[in-house]
Chain A
Amino acid sequence: MKNPDLVRDVLGISLEPERVEENLAAYADILQEIAKLRTLDLSDVNPAVTFSPIVAAKGTVNE
């Protein structure tokens, strides 16, 4: 893909530009909170949701 579009291709948003602007405005307060989270150095912390190679087939009990 040559010169991908940030909104359409990278973020996968296929909305009219006006709608994207409205959504960005709605996201502003949340982004302010997320900016605080970004200041934390958590590189030594495993995420709470971690991968496990064990999976139960549907209808069975995970051992």
Chain B
Amino acid sequence: MSEQPLWSLPIERMAPEIQSSRLSPVEIIDSLLERIDKYDGEIKSFVCLAPNARAQAEAAAAEIAAGNYKGPLHGIPIAVKDNYFTADMPTRAGTQAAVEYPKTDSTCVAKLREAGAIILGKTNMHEFAWGNETPPTRNPWDTERVPGGSSGGSGAAIAAGFVPAALGSDTGGSIRIPASLCGTVGMKPTYGLVGRSGIVPHSWSLDHAGPLAATVADAAFITEALVGHDANDPGSVDRGKPDFASVLGASVEGMRIGICRNHFFDALATDVGEKVEKAISQLSKLGGKVVEFEIPNLKYGLAAIYAIELASSTAWHDPSLAAGMTADYQSDVRTLVEIGRFVTAPDYLKAEQLRRVLMEDFARAFSDIDVVVGPTLPLTAWRIGERSVRIGDADESVLAASWRLTYPWNLIGVPALSIPCGIDSRGLPIGLQFAAPPFKEVDLFRLAYAYEATQDWKGVRAPFKV
């Protein structure tokens, strides 16, 4: 193995070493815990570390030594967002309010444990997954800037080299936004493919579970482990066991690359626009056939996601609202939870009708396209406390800008993946977003892996100094 530090290795590099017993899960966990101890006081990505992390690593090492190797996640430390229930750690969903959640493993955490992963700890999140900044977590690429959210702790922990991968959840972009701002891969699978029981709900028909990881292959390994029917999730579907790993390295010659020129390319920061166009050219050089199209109805999408997300979130928080507990929420989240009461039932249903229209629009587009490609965000990480940003000639609120390009894929429930595609003039990562028809995760992994292989930043972590 190279002299590369253990904390910087992606799963795809660690796994063969662990399988062959050249590397012990105990060495890895010790390396990560030392790094977390040294630097997470500044980054603030973890809210809790598993008290038994080293014991989990020792158990994994013993299993592997006994010839019971389970696969690429065996002995690999993975962190989970603080809205996933865990049997050995408390769940707070990012809040300081007096809430209590069961100490039992969520379906996803149970699946990771079955695959042999070590659950290293819980990562910070924007309170109740209702925001894109994740205070007080800092972005390791520039600690004066936000890591994004709501899975910001997961993105920051990977970027800082504290863990090779982490789970996030995504209602309007909450996996892909921190992935883009922290320079990691982030994967939101098709709605229903990954079971959500044991995750604190935010908006039932928009919530998705999935991983953030250092590389595309790592994200594929974890997604593969998470897929499966969840009897306690009414949105869950049974699609059988996938094989994402087998498409990694497959040719992308002839793949049809869709570029939706309206909405996804409106008002982009200059560096973002340039890097994304360069990435599209690269995909073309790899054999992709570029097809441009437009979806005019996207101009109504913001109204639809707001109506659905606000109404759903408020319905879920209703007992807390009735009990006056929302006064203990952070002010931004309290406001969002309270204003959900203003969404009328006809507005909500019209949003669900618009959603159907968009699903049909994209279904038509996908008859000529395999993967839609565009930016994940129109900007890179903004400064902590900054409320609006200037993009091109206009000011835009950071909340509006941050999810403008991600929420369409939550509205229609298709798989979407964010992958780094370069660095801006301030040294901050830029995200490229891929989306595919429902249950076509294989095409996302295939194309993203091929693109990643052409870039010299694969698996890179933030060059942060404390």
Residues of A within 8 A of B (CB): 11-15, 19, 22-24, 26-27, 30-31, 33-34, 36-38, 40, 42, 45-49, 55-56, 58-62
Convert B292-307 into 0s and 1s, putting 1 for each residue whose CB lies closer than 8 angstroms to a CB of A. Answer: 0000000110111011
Convert B328-363 into 0s and 1s, putting 1 for each residue whose CB lies closer than 8 angstroms to a CB of A. Answer: 000000010011011100010111111111010000
Q: Is B231 an interface residue (CB 8 A)?
A: yes
Alpha-carbon separation in the docked complex, A18 to B355 (Å): 35
Beta-carbon contact of A13 and B353 below 8 Å: no
Q: Is B114 an interface residue (CB 8 A)?
A: no
Convert B194-232 into 0s and 1s, putting 1 for each residue whose CB lies closer than 8 angstroms to a CB of A. Answer: 000000000001000000000000000000000001011
Closest chain B residue, CB of each to CB of A24: B342
Beta-carbon contact of A42 and B338 below 8 Å: no
Beta-carbon contact of A27 and B342 below 8 Å: yes
9 more contacts with CB within 8 A, not counting A31-B342, A47-B352, A61-B229, are A23-B335, A23-B338, A34-B347, A37-B300, A38-B350, A42-B353, A47-B355, A49-B205, A61-B231
Residues of B within 8 A of A (CB): 205, 229, 231-232, 234, 238, 299-300, 302-304, 306-307, 310, 322, 335, 338-339, 341-343, 347, 349-357, 359
Known: A30-B339, A34-B303. A48 touches B347 (CB 8 A): no
Interface centre among A12, A15, A23, A34 (most CB of B within 10 A): A34
Beta-carbon contact of A48 and B342 below 8 Å: no
Beta-carbon contact of B356 and A48 below 8 Å: yes
Closest chain A residue, CB of each to CB of B302: A33
Beta-carbon contact of A26 and B353 below 8 Å: no
A-B contact pairs, 24 of them (CB 8 A): A12-B341, A13-B338, A13-B341, A23-B335, A23-B338, A23-B342, A27-B342, A30-B306, A34-B306, A36-B303, A37-B300, A37-B307, A37-B351, A37-B354, A40-B350, A42-B350, A46-B353, A47-B352, A48-B352, A48-B355, A48-B356, A56-B231, A56-B234, A61-B238
Beta-carbon contact of A37 and B238 below 8 Å: no
Interface centre among A23, A37, A59 (most CB of B within 10 A): A37
Beta-carbon contact of B232 and A59 below 8 Å: yes
Beta-carbon contact of A11 and B356 below 8 Å: no
Alpha-carbon separation in the docked complex, A46 to B354 (Å): 9
Across the interface, B232 reaches (CB within 8 A) one of A19, A22, A58, namely: A58
Q: Give the Cβ gap from B43 to chain A, nearest Cβ, in Å.
A: 31
Alpha-carbon separation in the docked complex, A42 to B361 (Å): 14
Alpha-carbon separation in the docked complex, A60 to B234 (Å): 11
In the A-B complex, the 7 residue pairs with the smallest Cβ-Cβ separation, listed nearest first, are A47-B352, A33-B303, A48-B355, A37-B303, A42-B353, A45-B353, A48-B356
Beta-carbon contact of B300 and A36 below 8 Å: yes
Closest chain A residue, CB of each to CB of B307: A34
Beta-carbon contact of B300 and A40 below 8 Å: yes
